[in-house]
Structure 1
Amino acid sequence: MAPYFETVKSFTDVPVTDAGVDTITFLEAAQGVVNLFDLLGSAAFAAVQNDLKSNIAKVRARYDAVPDQSGTLELLVENEKGEKKRTATEGLLWLLRGLAFTCKALQIAQANKSTELSTAFSESYSATLKKYHNFVVKGVFAVAMKACPYRAAFFDKLAADPAGGPPVPQEKLDEELDKWLAALDSIATRLQTFYDSNDYGKGF
């Protein structure tokens, strides 16, 4: 088995055209974020993982039900707008929020190599998800932040080859992670703008 970023679909491989963001490859790449939390090694992040999984499933269910109207995420949302329960639209919105939280945390960690993950995730939470959460959920996330592993241990896991091969050099890992994060950031920003400009997030 290869090191982490060779085992998951990269956001750099998600087709983005004038028509929109390809639905299936985006969901495959989003699953890579779910798996990333396994490397953090804390049960405290189970709530984050479950939320991401649930929202991926909602979008996938919509695609499976009407694939001809769901080839891109934008098309999927547009074709659901007249329905009473916009389950996939809400699911995608919360998925984007969770992805933005993860992306920003790792960008903060990448920008300053001395920043521990607990600090990076706490700063990201304040900037992304916190405003959408009630008191109880904020408490759950506060626990999760404190349970973050040391950054060195996490990055060692990202670089490691579970089959026992040599780890990825730090320079190569940074290069792959930065590309992955830049692509995720670009897609998440594009879709959030799409939601905001069309009021698709209203009520959620």
Structure 2
Amino acid sequence: MAPYLDSVTSFADVPITDAGVDTLAFLSASEGLVGLFDLLGSTAFGVVQSDLKGNIAKVRARYDETPTLSNTLERLVENEKGEKKRKATEGLMWLLRGLQFTCKALQNAQANASEELDKAFTKSYEVTLKPFHNFLVKGVFSVAMKACPYRADFFGKLKADPAGGPPASDDHLNEGLNRWLAALDGIVTRLQTFYKAGGHDKGF
């Protein structure tokens, strides 16, 4: 087996056309991101994983119902617009926020090699999810931030081969992770701009 990031769909490999972001490839890459929290190794992040999985499921359910109208995320949202309950639109909105939280945290960690993960994730939370959370949820996330593993342990797991083979080099990991994060950042920015321009984030 390969190190974790080599074994899941990269956001860098998600097709983007004039019609939008490919729905199934995006969901596959998002599921790969959810697995990162297993590497963090703390049950405190269970609420984050559960939220991400639940929102992925809402988008996938809509795709399964109307696949020809949902081949891109933009088409999926547009075609749900006239309905009373826009479950997939709301689910994708929250999924994007959760992905942005994780992306910014890891970008913080990549930008500052001496920064521990609890600080990287806390700084990300302040500017991504916190403005949308109530007092109780903020408390849950505060506990999760404090439960982050040591930086060296997490990156060691990212480099490791689960089958027992040699670990990936630092250069290989950094190249793959930076490419993965840059693509994720671009997709999130694109879709959040789409939401605001179309008023798709209203009514929730």
Q: TM-score, normalization: structure 1?
A: 0.99
SS in 2 for 1:203: coil
Give the residue type in structure 2 aligned to 1:68: T
**Counterpart mapping for 1:52-201 below 5 A:** 52-201=52-201
Give the residue type in structure 1 aligned to 2:26: F
Task: Count residues with an aligned counterpart.
Answer: 204
Give the residue type in structure 1 aligned to 2:185: D
| 1:13-66 deviations in Å (ceiling 9; x for gaps) | 100011100000000000011100000000000000000000000000000000
Residue 203 of structure 1: CA displacement? 2.0
**Matched residues, percent identical?**
71
Residue 82 of structure 1: CA displacement? 0.2
| 1:119-169 deviations in Å (ceiling 9; x for gaps) | 000000001000000000000000000000000000000000011111000
Unaligned runs of 5+ in 1: none
Distance 1:8 1:171 in 2: 19
Distance 2:32 2:138 in 1: 24
Give the residue type in structure 1 aligned to 2:88: A
Distance 1:158 1:8 in 2: 12
CA RMSD of aligned residues (A): 0.4
Distance 1:33 1:175 in 2: 17
**Counterpart mapping for 1:7-22 below 5 A:** 7-22=7-22
| 1:48-99 deviations in Å (ceiling 9; x for gaps) | 0000000000000000000010000000000000000000000000000000
Distance 1:128 1:5 in 2: 23
SS in 1 for 2:200: coil
SS in 1 for 2:71: coil
Unaligned runs of 5+ in 2: none
Give the residue type in structure 1 aligned to 2:158: L
* 1:29 paired residue number: 29
Distance 1:174 1:74 in 2: 31
Residue 171 of structure 1: CA displacement? 1.1
Residue 193 of structure 1: CA displacement? 0.2
Residue 6 of structure 1: CA displacement? 1.1
Give the residue type in structure 2 aligned to 1:146: K
* 1:39 paired residue number: 39
Distance 2:169 2:68 in 1: 43
Give the residue type in structure 1 aligned to 2:189: T
Residue 198 of structure 1: CA displacement? 0.7
